[in-house]
Chains A and B, each alone.
Chain A
């Protein structure tokens, strides 16, 4: 019995064991996908010809390799996604812990965290504005 400085709204019998149906479901889904692949492999005919083995480029002989260089903008978007999505994931525990009908964190602490959260969202907006100003969202 540990005294905590917060109140817990949920039954505290949390353990990973409660998620065993998910594990069974995962096993079944993977099994299903594998079985479908194996069935298709057994039933389908295979007549390999050199033309079928070529990469498809609208009927012409392929030019060069597909693994070339591509626009750096895709990486920029990926980095931005990383920044914003990770920031976003901080909002989830905040919303669950301090908001709603049975907040875990109440009182003065809740107010402090709220203002901190506003600053946090403000920082997010600032980063977004900087990225826009730098032309990350320009596609052509």
Chain B
């Protein structure tokens, strides 16, 4: 048996173990970080009691430890708590929903590269069709195997692919599935499946709060998927590939996409906030109205799995933001300083990628504790009346620049101009007649007539 054939499999398994362990450990400590950040924002201490002394007096130096033992204690508690399965639930879907929520969020990490993963070499060869040079349509003989490629190289039709491919095979790859050409599309597809976890969880709970939460959530997630998709097409037009490694590679050569398309970055960030159900958009689980939203009836480990899914989704989308818009591992001058391929450079790039992801995660958290929750009509207005036209305008700019080979820097003024334009036009939209309230008179009963009472124009919102 050829044991060498098993090496790629082993490498894959190790990568999976490292990434899975890293993400799950990261999620555990993100919950602690979230509580710490909320404490700092609100001028409190936050969790600072649980250390690693396990009640042993001789481990006194591990006591408290800034509360770093908290995630461990939480995990053990989740495992040992009573797991109530109410009698009225649809049991199969009820058990399936947290698994879907966690599984889809983790599975999306499959194509994300966490460090300097090189882009696979491009196989570029084209010839005009004989006698039809003016048509501009080129022809390629389609190599179906590496032997075909080698034969084409010997005949001189193709240059350098075999060497590049050999160099590529030797480079380190920080990704579960390096060179996945579907790249972003895969994440888009798997991320959409996350809706199922929430909808199934809400529906199978057979609880009004859960059902309302999951309905809101599905409407919200599918609404924000469209601006998200639109903002990505601009990136695709400039780069011409869905492969995340190629997108990062393009940015390393031509500058970060955040500078060319700040509006697209803004749209993408807003959309992923909504996709992750983070605070300005956390209507699916808004505590004051819906108790817990779609996970009202979940307890113990199943509840923890929903949260695991949510935080994992946050990490995945932060990785995406960095890879798509913030240059991935790239920092100007880094390669000139440390060299392209040394171990120090690889470690520095890995650290840089992580630092950028950490920055985006911190942005998630700071915004959660700073901005207030939207109302549902505001949420839908933002997605369909604000972000949708903004996304289409941004896309049109990218289309023209990409098609006519203009400088991508033209996109920067265009991007800012449409942002200003749409914001200004928004002010001229006729105000929506949403001030419909139940009049509450004396105690909690509705008004005697039981009808909806409209507030007089100009009245302050309560």
B-binding residues in A (CB < 8 A): 1-14, 18-22, 24-26, 28-30, 32-34, 36-37, 39-41, 43-47, 52-58, 65-68, 70, 74, 77-78, 80-81, 84-85, 88-89, 91-92, 95-96, 99-103, 105-111, 114, 117-118, 121, 124-125, 128, 131-132, 136-140
Q: Is the CB of B181 within 8 A of A140?
A: no
CB pair A40–B296 under 8 Å, yes or no, is: no
Residue from A10, A20, A21, A47 with most neighbouring chain B CB atoms (10 Å): A21
**Nearest CB to that of A88 among chain B residues?**
B229
Q: Are A29 and B107 in contact (CB under 8 A)?
A: yes
Of residues A36, A117, A128, which shows the largest number of chain B Cβ atoms within 10 Å of its Cβ?
A36
B107 and A26 within 8 A (CB): yes
Q: Note all chain B residues with C-beta closer than 8 A to A30.
A: 99, 103
Within 8 A of A (CB), among B146-162: 146, 148-149, 161
Q: Whole-angstrom distance from the CB of B12 to the nearest CB of chain A?
A: 4
Chain B: minimal CB distance from A89 (Å): 8
Chain B residues with Cβ under 8 A from A56's Cβ? 86, 207, 209, 291, 296-297
* A44 adjacent to B79 (CB under 8 Å): yes
Minimum distance in angstroms from A28 CB to a CB of chain B:
6
Q: Are A18 and B83 interface neighbours, CB within 8 A?
A: no
Q: A19-B177, A28-B16, A92-B185 are in contact. Are A6 and B206 (CB under 8 A)?
A: no
B230, B300, B305: the one within 8 Å of A33 (CB): B305
* For the complex of A and B, 4 pairs with smallest distance between CB atoms: A100-B240, A107-B136, A40-B301, A7-B126
| Residue in contact with A55 in the complex, picked from B88, B139, B212, B302, CB distance below 8 Å | B88
- B219→A77 contact, CB < 8 A: yes
How many angstroms from the CA of A32 to the CA of B122 in the assembled complex? 36
Once bound together, how far apart are the Cα atoms of A91 and B297, in whole Å? Answer: 41
List residues of chain B with CB within 8 A of the CB of A44. Answer: 79-83, 300-301
Contact B79 A40 (CB under 8 A): yes
B123/A91 in contact, CB under 8 A: no
Output the nearest chain A residue to B125 by Cβ-Cβ distance: A7
Q: B362 on the interface (CB 8 Å rule)?
A: no
CA distance A85 to B302 in the complex (A): 31
Instruction: List 8 A–B pairs whose Cβ atoms lie within 8 Å, in order of A's numbering.
Output: A7-B125, A9-B124, A29-B107, A40-B300, A58-B291, A91-B229, A92-B242, A140-B432
Do the beta carbons of A5 and B139 come within 8 Å of each other?
yes
Interface of B, helix, strand, loop or mixed by DSSP: helix
Question: Does B49 make an interface contact (CB < 8 A)?
Answer: no
B57 proximal to A (CB < 8 A): no
Measured between alpha carbons, how far is A128 from B81 in the docked complex, in Å?
A: 49
| Shortest Cβ distance from A58 into B: residue | B291
Q: Are A22 and B177 in contact (CB under 8 A)?
A: yes
Determine if B83 and A40 form an interchain contact, defined as CB atoms under 8 angstroms apart: yes
- The reply to whether B99 and A37 form a contact with Cβ atoms under 8 Å apart is yes
Output the least CB separation between B437 and chain A (Å).
11
Residue of A nearest to B185 (CB): A92
Residue of A nearest to B308 (CB): A36
Tell whether, in the assembled complex, residue B207 and residue A55 are in contact, meaning their CB atoms are under 8 Å apart: yes
CA distance A81 to B230 in the complex (A): 13
Q: In the complex, A117→B111 CA distance in Å? A: 29
- Specify which chain B residues have a CB less than 8 angstroms from the CB of A121 in the assembled complex: 392, 395-396, 399
Alpha-carbon separation in the docked complex, A33 to B304 (Å): 12
The one of A58, A65, A137 in contact with B384, judged by C-beta atoms closer than 8 angstroms, is A137
Q: Are A95 and B79 in contact (CB under 8 A)?
A: no
| A32 partner, pick from B20, B95, B126, B149, beta carbons under 8 A | B20
Contact B16 A24 (CB under 8 A): yes
Interface bits B201-217 vs A (CB < 8 Å: 1, else 0) = 00001111111100100
Q: Is residue B218 contacting chain A, with contact meaning CB distance below 8 A?
A: yes
**Are the CB atoms of B140 and A102 closer together than 8 Å?**
no
Q: How far is the CA of A74 from the CA of B141 in the complex (A)?
A: 50
Q: In the complex the two chains form, is B123's CB within 8 Å of A11's CB?
A: yes
B399 in contact with A21 (CB, 8 Å): no
Contact of B87 with A33 in the complex, beta carbons under 8 Å:
no
> What residues of B have a CB within 8 angstroms of the CB of A137 in the complex?
380-381, 384-385
Interface string of B421-437 (1 = CB under 8 A from A): 00000000000111010
The answer, yes or no, to whether B179 is at the interface (CB within 8 Å) is yes
Q: How far is the CA of A26 from the CA of B100 in the complex (A)?
A: 12
Whether B242 and A36, one on each chain, are in contact in the complex, defined by CB atoms closer than 8 angstroms, is: no
B62 at the binding interface (Cβ < 8 Å): no
CA distance A40 to B208 in the complex (A): 26
In the complex formed, the residue of A with least CB distance to B101 is A33
B181 near A10: Cβ-Cβ < 8 Å: yes
Q: Are B106 and A7 in contact (CB under 8 A)?
A: no
Q: Are B124 and A100 in contact (CB under 8 A)?
A: no
Contact A55 B297 (CB under 8 A): yes
In the complex the two chains form, what is the Cα distance from A46 to B135 in whole Å? 74
Least CB separation from A57: chain B residue: B208
CB contacts (< 8 Å) of B436 on chain A: these are 140
- How close is A106's CB to chain B, nearest CB, in angstroms? 6
Assembly CA distance A21 to B79 (angstroms): 30
Docked CA distance A118–B110 (Å): 34
Nearest Cβ distance between residue B154 and chain A, in whole angstroms?
A: 15
Distance from B186 Cβ to chain A, minimum over Cβ atoms (Å): 8
Interface pair A21/B291, CB less than 8 Å apart: no
CB distance from B291 to the nearest CB of A (A): 7
Q: Would you give the shortest CB distance from B122 to chain A, in whole angstroms? A: 5
Q: How far is the CA of A7 from the CA of B141 in the complex (A)?
A: 8
Binds A, one of B63-71, B220-228, B257-265, B314-322: B220-228
B419 within 8 A of A: no
Of the residues A54, A99, A125, contact of B236 by C-beta under 8 Å: A99
